[in-house]
Structure 1
Amino acid sequence: MTVEYSLADAEHLPYVRHGLLDVHLDVHTQSGPSDAENHFEARLQTAAAHPGWTTAIGYQAGRAVGYCHGFSLPADTDWWSNVIVPLPEYVTRESGRRTAVLSEIVVRKPWRGTGVAAQLHDIWLSLRPEERVTLLVDSTIGGGALQRVCEKWGYRSVANHRAPGDPTVYTAMIRPVHRP
């Protein structure tokens, strides 16, 4: 069976929320809905409230098998304020149309390694109007495998990033939205 893909924006979130939540709970919890559901709902609502929020979702036989989502960085963002070593202004300057943030990409286990994640990523990027996209990677995941996948997709590390109160140091990565 083939995976079919669709895109949605914040206006259509009520129609796709259940599929996103179903995938999230399948991947991130072993015991079913609980605080994980509430935490995900809060994060999803926060992300979807940002300008330019969109999601790409993969379905097989009507069941969501993976998704990715993100939004546009506003001109007054504090996104770059949590980098450990400050970056030059030409890297951190935002206009509200310069940078998209890939917030999350999640694929159910049976579909990992099949190209679904790459397809979701490419479909999500295909309609982004920004010139570049950024994401944060926990480079300890899979012994660095996740970061290597991002590098294969064209992302390059620009800084280490740590949010207040979060002990995890992430790698901030950037790539052009549309590669030559």
Structure 2
Amino acid sequence: MTIEFRQITSEHLPVIRQSILDIHAEVRLRDFGLTGPFYDVARFDERLSVYASRPGWTAVIGYEDDEPVGFCFGMPLGADTKWWSAMTEPLPREYLREDGKRTLALNEIVVRKPWRGRGVAWQIHEAWLSTRTEDRVTLLVNPAAGDGAVQAVYEAWGYRKIGEQKPFPDSPVFASMMRQVRSD
């Protein structure tokens, strides 16, 4: 299995948008049975558009023989970010200081079923981080996903839970996790 990783910027989103939406629908809706307005493809597409409109947004899509196998994307948190406003318990003020260069937010990482369990998600994640210059990376994970297995994967990748967030009225309460970009 040889996976090719393609780095994407917002200028290329129109070309790859449908692939991202198709993978989202296949994995989130069909494989995991996640339903409700928060997981609808149209709602995901709205979030994708908002994220991609932010400075520094990038994505990586993995391909095997020109077939998309998964993706991840995110952007740096700017000085005006609302990312930390949904924390259920406040974090120290200095921890939350953002300037567009300190913290990278991993918005989504999704891998199709035939490629799961083979390290592809880790490879896509690391390919994405390989071009980033920020100090740390944060993500949100539903602690119930996979009965906690998804959060355990992120912990194995070096992420640590720093609190909880509920960023949207109809979203689950997520574990907020953080790690250094370079896991030296």
Scaled to the shorter chain, the TM-score interval is over 0.9
Q: Runs ≥4 in structure 1, deviation > 3 angstroms?
A: none
Q: Find the aligned partners of 1:171 and 1:149 in 2 and give their Cα distance.
A: 13
Counterpart of 1:29 in structure 2: which amino acid? Answer: L
Which residue of structure 2 lines up, in the alignment, with residue 9 of structure 1? 9
Which residue of structure 2 lines up, in the alignment, with residue 143 of structure 1? 147
Counterpart of 1:146 in structure 2: which amino acid? Answer: V
User: Secondary structure of the residue that 1:135 maps to in structure 2?
Assistant: strand
User: Secondary structure of the residue that 1:29 maps to in structure 2?
Assistant: helix
Which residue of structure 1 lines up, in the alignment, with residue 34 of structure 2? none
Counterpart check, 1:29 vs 2:29: yes
In structure 2, stretches of 5+ residues that fail to align are: 31-36
Which residue of structure 2 lines up, in the alignment, with residue 123 of structure 1? 127
> Residue 22 of structure 1: CA displacement?
2.1
In structure 1, stretches of 5+ residues that fail to align are: none
Quick check: 1:22–1:64 contact (8 Å CA) kept in 2?
Answer: no
Query: Of the candidates 57, 64, 72, which is equivalent to residue 68 of structure 2?
Result: 64
- Please provide the CA RMSD for this pair: 1.4
User: Secondary structure of the residue that 1:96 maps to in structure 2?
Assistant: coil
Quick check: 1:19–1:63 contact (8 Å CA) kept in 2?
Answer: no
Q: Find the aligned partners of 1:6 and 1:88 in 2 and give their Cα distance.
A: 37
Q: Find the aligned partners of 1:155 and 1:109 in 2 and give their Cα distance.
A: 23
After superposition, what is the alpha-carbon deviation per residue over 1:32-52, rounded to whole angstroms, capped at 9, x for unaligned?
Answer: xxx833222212111101111
> Residue 164 of structure 1: CA displacement?
4.5
Query: Of the candidates 73, 93, 110, which is equivalent to residue 106 of structure 1?
Result: 110
After superposition, what is the alpha-carbon deviation per residue over 1:103-161, rounded to whole angstroms, capped at 9, x for unaligned?
Answer: 00001111100111000000001111111000001111111111110011110111111
**May I ask how many residue pairs the two structures share in their alignment?**
176
Q: Is the alpha carbon distance of 1:91 and 1:163 closer, same or farther for their aligned partners in structure 2, counting shifts above 3 Å? A: same
* Larger displacement relative to structure 2 (170-179 or 159-168): 159-168
Which residue of structure 1 lines up, in the alignment, with residue 77 of structure 2? 73
Counterpart of 1:56 in structure 2: which amino acid? Answer: V
Which residue of structure 2 lines up, in the alignment, with residue 39 of structure 1? 43
User: Secondary structure of the residue that 2:172 maps to in structure 1?
Assistant: coil
Q: Find the aligned partners of 1:90 and 1:100 in 2 and give their Cα distance.
A: 16
Counterpart of 2:148 in structure 1: which amino acid? Answer: G
Which residue of structure 1 lines up, in the alignment, with residue 18 of structure 2? 18
> Residue 29 of structure 1: CA displacement?
3.0
Which residue of structure 2 lines up, in the alignment, with residue 82 of structure 1? 86
